[in-house]
Amino acid sequence: MTSNFRLWLPALAITAFLVACGDGQDAKPVPSEKSKPAPRATLISTAQTQTVTVEVVEHSVGSLESIISPEVAAEVEGRLLSRFVVTGQRVKPGQLLAELDTEDYTIAAQAADAEVAQLEALTRNQRRTVKRFNRLIKEKLISIDRYDEARAQLDSLEEQLKASQARSNQKQRGLTKTRVLSAYDGIVDEELASPGDFLKVGAPLFRITKIDKLRARLPLPETLANQLSLGLKLRLVSPMAPELTVESSIQEIRPTVGSRNRAIDILTTIDNPGPWQPGASVTGEIILATRDNAILVPKASLVLRPAGKVVYVIKDGIAHQQIVEVGEYIGANIEITAGLQGSETVAVNGAGFLTDGSPVTVRGVNKP
């Protein structure tokens, strides 16, 4: 009996030990709420929305045109001696273009000057005579008839002198007009006479395109017809001087029908800012409308989601998805026409990785 008990007791102890060990392997700890890992924050940059005035702009590339291309003609007749400009050259008002033979006009002017000098001398002498006779008649040393005769001769000489001076001035003008000067700021388009040609009065020498004033012609699609009106503001830039911007307005609207498309030409006349020339291209910004208090955000902040176009508004380190409607694209920014109030902070870089409620870490601030 004693022997059997001793054998059973160790066996029972071993069995109990094995059971205890098995229970320990199968048991699992129950996780608590505090032990769950927190969502990982997304690294982003942000920007503050801006409220500005937005222009609804249509762009067009057109051309510059001359308004008038007058001919420069001879104002006196004579043989053309020299030309001082060539086709394509720019000329200024008062610049010498050509010269006619001056010999005949010089002789005529000299003769007229000599006649004036002679009559001036005769008139001076006769004035002295009349002055002397006036004194003598008071002393009753000459008759009144003699004084009247001397006075009549003086009046005649003075009239002759005036006529002679007028002829002299005319001859001098004729001599001056042998030098053909430009009356315009423009470009020489064509040379119409050659040295050696005998020119009558009015014979053309050059055709000059005036460039002190230019006309800008800008084509636009017919679909914009209802948005166009006289007086709409324009901004013009030409590659001839890209640093210059000319502001103007629509002065004329011309419908044009081409073989392939229908279009509208808008025209405006401007003062040439300096280096612009007819035939050059010009880019126009037509300001169709302006909107005050428009909200701008960077383009990178706009994300496409199944719900539509959204931006993520950042508040207290959390991204809040906001469905928006968009308007004009303005440089690196976009107009938000609905969905924002205008004082929000929105996600920019990294916005595409966000969902509604995502925690964020801000690494930088952009400006729209």
pTM tops 0.85: no
Match 């007791």 to its residue by tokens: 9
Query: Which one is predicted more confidently, 355 or 8?
Result: 355
What is the model's pLDDT at position 286? 93
- Answer yes or no: is pLDDT of 12 > 70: no
Q: Does the pLDDT of residue 222 top 90, yes or no?
A: no
Grouping H, G, I as helix, E, B as strand and the rest as coil, residue 80 is: strand
The pLDDT of residue 171? 93
Q: Helices in 313-361 by DSSP H: which ranges?
A: none
Per-residue model confidence (pLDDT) at position 8: 30
Domains, the chain, ordered by start: 43-53+293-366 (2.40.420.20), 59-67+211-291 (2.40.30.170), 71-208 (2.40.50.100)
Angle between helices 103-138 and 144-176 (to 10 degrees): 160
Q: How confident is residue 25, by pLDDT bands cut at 50, 70 and 90?
A: very low
Q: Are 243 and 302 in contact (CB under 8 A)?
A: no
- pLDDT of residue 197 exceeding 90, the answer is yes
In this predicted structure, what is the pLDDT of residue 307? Answer: 87
Mean pLDDT computed over every residue of the chain: 84
More confident residue, 29 or 37: 37
Secondary structure (3-state) at 211: coil
pLDDT value at 10 more than 60 = no
Where on the phi/psi map is residue 311: left (φ > 0), alpha (ψ -120 to 50), or beta?
beta
pLDDT band at 253 (very low <50, low <70, confident <90, very high): very high
Distance CA 129, CA 135 (A): 10
Pair of tokens at residue 244: 């210059």
137-195 per-position pLDDT tens digit: 888 888 888 889 999 999 999 999 999 999 999 999 999 999 999 998 888 989 999 99
**Structure token pair of residue 325:** 């409607």
pLDDT tens, position by position, 110-140 = 999 999 999 999 999 999 999 998 888 888 8
Taken in order 128, 133, 134, 138, the sign of the CA dihedral is positive
For the cut 90, the answer to whether the pLDDT of residue 313 exceeds it is: yes
Q: How does DSSP assign 85-153, residue by residue? A: --TT-EE-TT-EEEEE--HHHHHHHHHHHHHHHHHHHHHHHHHHHHHHHHHHHHTT-S-HHHHHHHHHH
Q: Tokens standing for 361?
A: 């870490």
Per-residue pLDDT at 284 = 94
Q: Which residues of 101-113 are buried (b: 16+ CB within 10 A; e: fewer)?
A: bbebbeebbeebb
pLDDT range class, residue 54, cuts 50, 70, 90: confident
356 pairs with which residues across the strands?
Answer: none
pLDDT at 363 over 80: yes
pLDDT of 311 strictly over 80: yes
Q: What is the pLDDT of residue 26?
A: 46
Compute the C-alpha angle 347/352/354, nearest 5°: 70
pLDDT above 70 for 240: yes
Closest to 332 (Cα-Cα) out of 349, 318, 314, 345: 349
Measured CA to CA in angstroms, residue 189 lies from 79, 90, 215 at distances of 22, 9, 17
Q: How confident is the model at residue 312 (pLDDT cuts 50, 70, 90)?
A: very high
What DSSP string runs through 239-255?
TTSTT--EEEE--EEEE
Asked whether residue 199 carries a pLDDT value surpassing 90, the answer given is yes
User: Which tens digits make up the pLDDT trace of 83-109?
Assistant: 999 998 989 999 999 999 999 999 999
Residues 139 and 108 sit within 8 Å (Cβ to Cβ): no
Structure confidence by residue, pLDDT tens digits, 271-287: 988 888 888 999 999 99
Q: How confident is the model at residue 37 (pLDDT cuts 50, 70, 90)?
A: low
In 203-331, the DSSP E strands lie at 204-210, 213-221, 233-237, 246-249, 252-257, 262-271, 281-298, 303-305, 308-315, 318-323, 325-330
* Cβ pair 275, 304 in contact under 8 A: no
